[in-house]
Structure 1
Amino acid sequence: MKSLDIAGILVKKPKTVLLVYTIIMFLIAFNAKNLYMESDLGKFLPEDEPTIKLLKYIGEEWNIGDTLIIYVESDDVLDLETLKDIDYVTNKINPYRHDRGELDGIVSETSITSLIKLKNSLPPPAGEGKYELPSSESKIMKYVARIGEARKTVLTDDYKASAVVFTLSSDADEKEILKRAEDAVASVDTKMYLVGTLPLRDSLREWNLRSMAIIFPLAIFFVSIVLFAFHRSFKGLIITFLPTAYSIFMTFGILGIVRPQLTMLSIAIVALLLGLGVDYSIHLMNRFLEERGDHIKKARKSIATTGKAVLLSTITTAIGFGSLMISSMAPLRDFGFGCSLGIVLCFFSTLIMVPPLIVVLDFREKVEVPAWKRLAKFATKNSSRIVFLGVAIAIFSIAVFPKVGTDVNYFSMAPKDNPVVLKTKEFSERFGSSGSLNLIMVEGDLKDPKVIKEIYNMEERMRSDFRIHNAGVTFVSIADIIKKINLEDLPDDSIRLQLIYSLMEDKIETAIDEDFSKTLISVNIPIGLSMEQQKEVVTAINSIIYNTSIPGGKVYPITGATPINVAINDLLFEQQTRSLFLSILLVFATLILIFRSSLHAFLTIIPVIFVLLLEPGILVSLGISLSVVTISIASIIVGTGVDYGVHITKRYLEGVEEGLGKEEAMEKAIEGTGLSLVEAALTTVAGLLAVYFVNVPALQEFMKVVISMIILSLLGAVFFMPALYRLKKI
C-alpha cells in the first residue's frame, strides 16, 4: 500500500514534487565544484604493487617527481645564438642549479648546453675552466664530439632538434614551474615546445574536464533525435531527459563530496548514465501511457509493474558496475562507484519525476508499430534456427579468443589533435623517448672502484642482450660518466675515483646520494614498442639484475613508466575475470530472488552470457585490444544487457498470471516491451556516440565495443531468450 500512496502523491501534487526535488538536486549538484581530474597512468596500479612501491621510495629518497622537457627545433641547434636561447630558458626555469629542487622545484637538468658547459669547465687544455658556453663555434663542435653517444639523448644526429630535460622535485609547485617555462619559451626567438609527463598531464587534465562539458550536450542532441523519431513530441523529450539530467548533476555533486578525483574513464560516465537513465524514463512513461483510467490508477499500475522491472534493472546494472569496485585499480573502482551511484539516482529520479511530468505536461501520445506483432511471432516460432545460429556464432568467437591482445598505451588515452600530445609524439619519434622516467636503483659503497666496475659490467651485459639492444634501449649511469671523464677508462683506486667525483661538480648531486651509498641508472626505453616488446625488455633487464652481485650492496628491479605499463597489462585479464565472475554471480542471485525461480533467472541471464561469449570476436574483428579502458566493458554489459531480458521475463510472467498460454504470453511480452527495448537500446547507443567526438582512440574503442554488445544484448533478449523459453516448454 505504501507504493500506492506514493503514486497518489506524485500525480496529485506534481508541481510541488518537482519543485522540492529540483531544490534537492541543486543543493547536491553544487558540490561538483570540488571535482578535479587525475591523468596519471600509475594510478591504475594498486599502491602495494612492487613497481609502484619502489618508484615511490625512489621519489621520496631522491626527491624526484615529474619530468618537463623543452623540445627545441632549429635549422642548426649548435648555432651560438640558438644555444644562448636554450641556456637562457634553462636558467629561467632552473635558476638555482645547486639547490636540489628546494628553492626552484628543479632537481636536475640535462641539455646540450649543460653538457657543453661541463666540458668547457674542465681545466686547460681540455677546457677553459669556466662553466659557461664558449664563444668559439669550433670549440662547441669539439666539445660535442667529445660528449659522444651521450649527446643523443638531447641532440639529434642532424643537429636540427634538441631536448632540455628537467626533473622536478616530488613536492614541486607544478603550475608555477609550467608558468615559468611558458614565459621563458615565449621570450626567445628559437622554436621551443613544452612536452613530457608534466605538460602532457596538465594538458590532458584540462582537456578531460572540457570533454565532459562537450559530451553532455552532444549526448542530449543525439538521444533527442532518437526520442523525437519515436514520439514526435518535445513533451516526450522533456519527460525522458529531465530525470536523467537531474541524476547526472546529483551524481557528480555526490562524487564531489566523497570521491572528487576523476579520471579519463569518468568521461564515459556522462554518456552511459544519459543513455541508460533515459531508458528507465522510456519504460515507465510508455507503461503509464499504455494503462487505462485516471492518473492515479495509471501511476499505481505502472509503478507496481514496470516500476518493479525498472527497480530490478537498476539493481542488476548497479551490480554490473559495482563489481568493478573490487578491482585493485583505483580508477576502475572510482568508475564503478560513479556509475553505480548514478544508476541508482536515475531510478529514483525516474520514479519521482516521470509521473508528475506526464501530468503537468498533459502528455498522452503512445507509439504503435503494428509490424512489431509479426516480429514477436517470428521470435517465438523460429526458436531452433535462432538458437543454432547463436551457438554457431558463439563458437566462432570463442575460437578467436587466443588472438585477443592486451595493450597499455598512454597515447591511446590522449586526444589526437591536442597540441601537446602531437609535439610529445613528434619528440618521441625523434628521440625515441616520451621523457618518462625508467630507473634502476643500486645500493653499495660508491667510493669503491669495484662497485663502479660492477655497475658498468651489468650495463654492458644489458647492452649486449639482443632483446634489449634490438629494442633500442640505452642506459646512463654514474659509471658511464666516470668513464667519460677518466678518458674512457674506469679508475682502479679510490683516490683517483674521489678526484673524478670532485670534477663532476653539481652533477654528482643528481647521480649519487649524500653518503655515496645509492645511485640511479637512467634507462631510456623508446616509445612505440609493442606490449610484448616492453614486457620482453623489462623481463630481460630484471633477469640480468637478479644475476648481478654488487660487492656489499644490491640492485633493485627496474621501475618507472615502462614497468608500470607491463604491470598494468599483466593485471588486465585477472581484473576482468574477477569483476565479471562476481557480477554474473550477483546478478543471477538477484534474478532468483526477484523472480523466485532459478529457471527464469537462468533463462534471463543466458542471453547476456551469450553476448559475453561474443566479446572476443568483436575485439578481434574490430582490431581492438583489452586495455585499462575496455577492461570494464564485460562487467558493464552484464548489468546493462540483462535489463532487456528482465523486462521481457517480467511481462511474460504477468501474461501467465493473467491466464494467457505460455507461447501467447511470450508473444505479448515481446509485443508489449519490444518497442520500448529498441527505443531504450537506441538511446543508449546515441548517448555513447557522443564519446566518439572527444577524439580519444581508447574511448572511441570503448564506445565501439559497448555499442556492439548493447545491440547484441537487445537481439539476444528479443530473439534468443524467447527461443530458449519455447525450447524448454516452460
Structure 2
Amino acid sequence: MLQTTLVNLSMNRPRWVFFGVLLLTVIAGLQIPSIKVDTDPENMLPADNAARVFHDHVKERFGLHDMIVVGVVNDSAGGIYNQQSLSELQQLSDAIVQMDGVVSQDLMSLDRVDNISQEGPGTIRFEWMMKQVPTDQAGIDQIRTSVERLPLLNNTLVSGDGKAAGIYIPITQKSESYRISGLIQTEISKLSGNNQYYISGLPVAEDTFGVEMFIQMAISAPLAGLMIFILMWVFFRSFLLITAPMLVAMGSVIITMGLLIGQGYTVHIMSSMIPIFLMPIAVVDSVHILSEFADRYRPGEDPKVALKEVLGHLFTPMLYTSVTSAVGFASLAFTPIPPVQIFGLHVAFGIMLAFVLTITLVPAYIISLSPKRMAQMKDHNIDEDDNSFLGRLLIFTGRFSIARAKGLLVLFVLIVVGSAYGVAQIQINDNPVRWFKPDHPLRVADRVMNHHFPGTYNAFLVLDKTGDLRSGLEQSLQTRAAKEGVELQQKLDSVTAESFIEYTNALINLFDQLSYDDSDHETLWLDLLDMTEKAQINSKYFLTPDAMTYLDGLQTFLDDSEYVGKSNGLPTLLKTVYRELQGGAADQYRLPSTAAAAAQTVLSFQGSHRPNDLWHMVTPDYRSTVLWLQLSSGDNQDMNRVLKLVDGYVADHPLPEGVKLNWAGLTYINVVWQDEMVNGMLNSLMGAFFMVLLIMILLFRSVKIGLLSMLPLTVTILFIYGLIGLSGKDYDMPIAVLSALTLGLSVDFAIHFLERTRAIYRECGSWEQTVAEVYKGPSRAISRNAVVVAIGFTPLLFAPLVPYITVGFFLATIMAVSAVVTVMLLPAVMEMIKDKDSLFGVKPGIKESIHD
C-alpha cells in the first residue's frame, strides 16, 4: 500500500514532489545560519557526570583555569638567557595580560613571578624575578641562578636546558582559546628577534580543531559530492539522470542539519560529520535505481514502465536496508555520550528521509525529463553491457565463486581468524592534538614544547580530608567538662559560626573570657581553650607533618616515574620557603617539622607579590590540596599509566585515615569520556547487531537467509577492526563511530543481493540460471555503488584533519570489503547448501509449476 501510494505520487504528481521537497529544504536551510558550534570534548560527558562535576568543582575551589602555553625557544649556546630573548618575552607577556579573556593576575612568566630569597635570619624577601630586563650578562646570569634554585619555577617557566621559556596563560573560557591564540600570534609577528615561538595546550587544540573542522566540512563534503557526481557520469553517461541522486543527497543533508540546528542543538565534533556519513547512504539507493533503470530502459520506450518494474523489485530491499542502517545509527542513542546520541538519532532520521526522497524524488525527476533528453541517455542494455570490463569481471566472479566454493569458504575463515587476532590487538587511545596532521603548527608546537619542558598537558591529583570536625571537638570538650561536673552544651549552642575556623575562634574567645569570669573553674576553661587551639591547628590537616610527609612522598614518587614530567604542590612551596627562612642552605630544603612551623611558613609566603598562588594548591581551610602534574603526552594510554601508577602507590602506601583521592584536569577528562564512548559504542554495536539480525529474520521470514545476510556484515566488521589492530592504528573517536556506518553499509549490499537472488530463483527455479541473472543486474548495481562511494570519498584523504582522513579511508575500505564479501562469499555459501528450495522458500508444488 505504501509502495503503491509513493510510486504513484512520484510518477503522477512530480511537481507536487518537487514543491514539497523544495519547501522542506528551504525551511531547513533557513535554520542553518543560526548554527552554534561546540568543540569542547568535555561536553562529550553529560552535565551530571560525576567526573565532570568533580572537575568543575576542583577548578572552582582552587581557582584553576584552562591554560594556553606559549613557548619561546632559542637554540643558541646561551639559550633564552640573553637580553633580546628576555626583552621579547617581557614585551609579549605585557601584551598578553591586556587581552580580554586572559586571567591576568594568574599569568605565569619570568617577569610576573617572585624570586624567593633570604632577607636575614628568620626573614624572607620576595622580589620580582625580572622587574626589568638586565642590561648586562651578569644580571641575566643572576636570573638564571635564581630560577634554577627555585623548584616551583625551574623546568616549568624555563626549561632545564635553558633553551626555552614558557608563558602560562590562564583563560576565562576554553571557547576563547582560538581567538586569544590568534591575538598572541599577531603580537608574535611584531617581534623581530631570532627566537622561535610556539603556541600549545589542549584548550587551543580543541578550539582550533572546531574552527578548522567546519572549514573542512565546507570543503570535503562538496568535493566528495563532486567526485561521486563524476563517477556516476562515468557509469551512466547522463548528467541529467545523475542529478537526481545528488538532489536526494543534498536534500537529505540540508533537511537533517536544519532539523538538528533548528532544535537548538549545538554542532559538535560528531554532528559536524553528519553530511559525510549521510551522503554515501543517501546516494546508495539512488544508484541502485539508476543502475537498474539504465539497464532496463531503452530510448523511445515509456520510462514509467521501466521505473515501475525497477521500483517493484527494489522497494522492499531498499526499505530493508534503510531500516537496518537507521537501526544501526539509532542504537548510538544508548551510548552515555550526549553528542553521540544526537549524532546517531539524526543520521537515522536522515537515512529514512533519504529513502523517502529516493522513491519519490528520483522517479519524479526521471518522469519529468522530456523524451528528447531521455533519448540522449546511453543505452545500458544488460546483454550488451556484459561485454564491458565490469560485466565480464562480475560474470567471472560468479562462476569462480560457485566453482571454488569450498576454497573460498576456507579463505574467508582464515581471514576471519586473522581479523579476530587483529581485533585483540586494538589499543584504545585518543589525543585531541593528534586530530591534526604531523606538520600542523599545533602538532609541531606540541613536539617542541614537550621536548624542552616536562609537559604541557595538565592533570590534577586532588586529596580531600573528610570528617565532622565540629562534632568531634564538641564531644572532646564535653568529656573534659564533665570531669569537673560542668554542663557545657548550652554554651556550645550559643556559638553559631558556620566555618570550623570561625567556630573555634569564637570558642577560644569564649573560654578565654570564662577563665577570667569563673575563677573557680579557671583551670578547666584554660584546658578547653588549649584543646580548641590544638583542634584548630590540627583541622588544617594538610599542614600537619603526617599529611605533608605522605603528600611529599607521593609527589617524589611521581617525579621519579617516567610518565610524569614534573609535579608542583604544597610540599614544593613549603620546602622552598622554609629553606629560605632557615638560611637558604640546600640541606634546609625540607618540610617544617610541626604544623605550627608549617603555618608560619605559609604566613611568610603571604607576603609575596602573588599570595593567591597558595590557594591554587590548597583550600583556605587546608582540608583539600591538589598536585599539579605536567605530562609530556596527552594520549589516553599515558594518562591511564599515570592513574595505575598512583593506584599502585596507594596500594603500597595506604592513604591516611579519612583522606580521599580523586582526579581532575582536561587530560583526565579526555580519558573518562573516551572510555565511556568506547564502552557505549561497543554495547550499542552489539545491541544493533542482534537487532539487525532479528529484523532480517522477520523481513525475510527466514532464519537461514537472515543469518546469511549477516555474513558480509560480520566479516567486514571483523576485517576492518582487525586491520586497525594489526596496523597499530589507535581506536579513537572517528574509528568508534565508524562501527555504526560499517553496520549500515555492509548489510545494505547483502539485503539487495539476497532479495534479488530469492526473487529470481522463485521465478526460474534454477540455481545456475539464478546465478547468471544475479551477476548481471543486482551485482552490477552493488559494484557500481561500491566504486562510486569508495572512490567518491577519496578527497577526504587529502584533508588536513586526521579524523576526516580516517573516515575517508575506512569508508572506502568498508564499501570495498562489504561488496567483495557480498558478491563472492554469499554465492559460495549458498552453493554449499543443497536444498535451495527450502533456502529460498519455494514449495515443491510451485517449483513443479515453474518447470512445467
TM-score (norm 1): 0.89
Q: 1:518 to 1:646 in 2, by over 3 A?
A: same
Q: How does 1:470-509 map to 2 (within 5 A)?
A: 470-487=562-579, 488-491=589-592, 492-494=594-596, 496-504=600-608, 505-509=611-615
Is contact 1:648-1:717 (8 Å) kept? Answer: yes
Aligned position for 1:57: 57
Is contact 2:178-2:204 (8 Å) kept? Answer: no
Does residue 323 of the first structure (1) align with residue 331 of the second (2)?
yes
The match for 1:207 among 212, 224, 227 is: 212
Separation in 1, partners of 2:629, 2:725: 34
Is contact 1:120-1:133 (8 Å) kept? Answer: no
The match for 2:617 among 500, 511, 514 is: 511
Separation in 1, partners of 2:311, 2:426: 44
How far 1:337 moved relative to its partner? 2.5
Aligned position for 1:350: 358
Aligned position for 2:727: 622
Q: Secondary structure, in 3 states, of the residue corresponding to 2:199?
A: strand
- RMSD over aligned CA atoms reads 3.3
Q: Secondary structure, in 3 states, of the residue corresponding to 1:318?
A: helix
Is contact 2:174-2:207 (8 Å) kept? Answer: no
Is contact 2:437-2:802 (8 Å) kept? Answer: yes
Does residue 162 of the first structure (1) align with residue 165 of the second (2)?
yes
Separation in 2, partners of 1:450, 1:514: 11
Q: How does 1:521-536 map to 2 (within 5 A)?
A: 521-527=627-633, 532-536=637-641
Separation in 1, partners of 2:622, 2:152: 26
How far 1:234 moved relative to its partner? 1.8
Is contact 2:459-2:631 (8 Å) kept? Answer: no
Q: 1:289 to 1:723 in 2, by over 3 A?
A: same
Aligned position for 1:277: 282
The amino acid across from 2:413 in the alignment is: V
The match for 2:107 among 106, 109, 132 is: 109
The amino acid across from 1:70 in the alignment is: V
How far 1:396 moved relative to its partner? 2.4
Is contact 2:542-2:548 (8 Å) kept? Answer: no
Q: How does 1:96-135 map to 2 (within 5 A)?
A: 105-106=103-104, 108-115=106-113, 117-119=114-116, 127=125, 133=131, 135=134
Does residue 394 of the first structure (1) align with residue 392 of the second (2)?
no
Is contact 2:426-2:730 (8 Å) kept? Answer: yes
Q: Secondary structure, in 3 states, of the residue corresponding to 2:606?
A: helix
Is contact 2:335-2:684 (8 Å) kept? Answer: yes
Does residue 66 of the first structure (1) align with residue 66 of the second (2)?
yes
Aligned position for 2:397: 375
How far 1:713 moved relative to its partner? 1.0
Is contact 1:441-1:519 (8 Å) kept? Answer: yes
Aligned position for 1:696: 801
More divergent stretch after superposition (227-236 vs 211-220): 227-236
How far 1:709 moved relative to its partner? 3.0
After superposition, the C-alpha distances for 1:212-245 in whole angstroms (9 at most, x for unaligned) are: 0110222023223321221223223312222111
Separation in 2, partners of 1:249, 1:627: 28
How far 1:104 moved relative to its partner? 5.7
Does residue 365 of the first structure (1) align with residue 387 of the second (2)?
no
Aligned position for 1:25: 25
Is contact 1:108-1:168 (8 Å) kept? Answer: no
Aligned position for 1:675: 780
Q: 1:224 to 1:153 in 2, by over 3 A?
A: same
Q: 1:722 to 1:643 in 2, by over 3 A?
A: same
Is contact 1:427-1:434 (8 Å) kept? Answer: yes
How far 1:643 moved relative to its partner? 0.7
Is contact 1:649-1:669 (8 Å) kept? Answer: no
Separation in 1, partners of 2:815, 2:361: 26
After superposition, the C-alpha distances for 1:522-570 in whole angstroms (9 at most, x for unaligned) are: 11122276x5543222112144357767778524223223433443554
Separation in 2, partners of 1:280, 1:395: 32
Q: 1:586 to 1:342 in 2, by over 3 A?
A: same
Does residue 303 of the first structure (1) align with residue 317 of the second (2)?
no
- Using the aligned pairs only, state the percent identity: 17
TM-score (norm 2): 0.77
Aligned position for 2:490: none
Separation in 1, partners of 2:442, 2:261: 28
Q: 1:287 to 1:122 in 2, by over 3 A?
A: farther
How far 1:295 moved relative to its partner? 3.6
Aligned position for 1:235: 240
Aligned position for 1:578: 683
How far 1:316 moved relative to its partner? 1.0
Q: Secondary structure, in 3 states, of the residue corresponding to 2:567?
A: strand
After superposition, the C-alpha distances for 1:74-122 in whole angstroms (9 at most, x for unaligned) are: 45433345434434443443469xxxx9x9645622223333x343796
Unaligned runs of 5+ in 1: none
The amino acid across from 1:14 in the alignment is: P
Q: Secondary structure, in 3 states, of the residue corresponding to 2:733?
A: coil
After superposition, the C-alpha distances for 1:254-293 in whole angstroms (9 at most, x for unaligned) are: 1212363333344543233222222111112233344566
How far 1:162 moved relative to its partner? 0.9
Q: Secondary structure, in 3 states, of the residue corresponding to 2:336?
A: coil
Does residue 141 of the first structure (1) align with residue 144 of the second (2)?
yes
Is contact 1:397-1:616 (8 Å) kept? Answer: yes
Separation in 2, partners of 1:581, 1:512: 46
Separation in 2, partners of 1:359, 1:305: 19
Q: Secondary structure, in 3 states, of the residue corresponding to 2:776?
A: helix
The match for 1:226 among 218, 226, 231 is: 231
Separation in 2, partners of 1:452, 1:177: 41
Aligned position for 1:257: 262
Is contact 1:548-1:555 (8 Å) kept? Answer: no
After superposition, the C-alpha distances for 1:152-197 in whole angstroms (9 at most, x for unaligned) are: 0121234331111123346996577556645654555565443223
The amino acid across from 2:204 in the alignment is: P
Is contact 1:44-1:330 (8 Å) kept? Answer: yes
Separation in 2, partners of 1:663, 1:673: 16
After superposition, the C-alpha distances for 1:485-531 in whole angstroms (9 at most, x for unaligned) are: 111232225252353242342323433334443332111122276x5
Aligned position for 2:430: 408
How far 1:672 moved relative to its partner? 1.5
Q: Secondary structure, in 3 states, of the residue corresponding to 2:359?
A: helix
Unaligned runs of 5+ in 2: 387-391, 467-536, 580-588, 837-852
How far 1:703 moved relative to its partner? 3.4
Aligned position for 2:81: 78
Separation in 2, partners of 1:376, 1:179: 59
Is contact 2:422-2:723 (8 Å) kept? Answer: no
Is contact 2:459-2:663 (8 Å) kept? Answer: no
Q: 1:449 to 1:327 in 2, by over 3 A?
A: closer
Q: Secondary structure, in 3 states, of the residue corresponding to 1:165?
A: strand
Separation in 2, partners of 1:668, 1:179: 62
How far 1:675 moved relative to its partner? 0.8
Q: 1:173 to 1:402 in 2, by over 3 A?
A: closer
Does residue 720 of the first structure (1) align with residue 725 of the second (2)?
no
Q: Secondary structure, in 3 states, of the residue corresponding to 1:159?
A: coil
Separation in 1, partners of 2:367, 2:209: 45
Q: Secondary structure, in 3 states, of the residue corresponding to 2:162?
A: coil
Q: Secondary structure, in 3 states, of the residue corresponding to 1:436?
A: strand
